Amino acid sequence: MDDIAGKICPGLDDALTARDQHLTRMERRVCKLAVLGIKGSVAETLIGTSRQNVSRMHSRLCRRLSGDKDEKELRKVLLELAEQPCEGGETAAQAGVEKP
């Protein structure tokens, strides 16, 4: 999983460490699954915890990693941190800017 997440989002590990050095191993796994678009019951099975716990971690990680911005999508926050393009080829920061 680490290799796949690293190929989809190069620089993710470094970006996570730079943003929050105290992330647990499980939180890092949730982040990598989020980058891969895996959540819910599949993430629950892969991580070995409850779906509710995965959901709580998603919410908590969104707040911690976005600097308390009102972002609800962990994948978008992670792509922004790693300065990677999101859907449509633009970076997450560019996607959040209104176009004229």
Domain assignments of the chain as residue spans, ordered by start: 2-87
b/e sequence 26-42, b meaning 16+ C-beta within 10 Å: ebbbbbbbbbbebbeee
pLDDT of res. 46 = 92
* Tens-level pLDDT at each residue, the chain (100 residues): 677 888 888 888 899 999 988 999 999 999 999 998 898 899 999 999 999 999 999 999 999 998 877 778 899 889 888 887 755 444 444 444 444 4
With beta carbons less than 8 A apart as the criterion, state whether 3 and 36 touch.
Answer: no
pLDDT of res. 94 = 44
pLDDT of res. 89 = 47
Whether the model clears a pTM of 0.85, i.e. scores above it, the answer is no
pLDDT of res. 86 = 58
pLDDT of res. 60 = 92
Q: What's the CATH number for 2-87?
A: 1.10.10
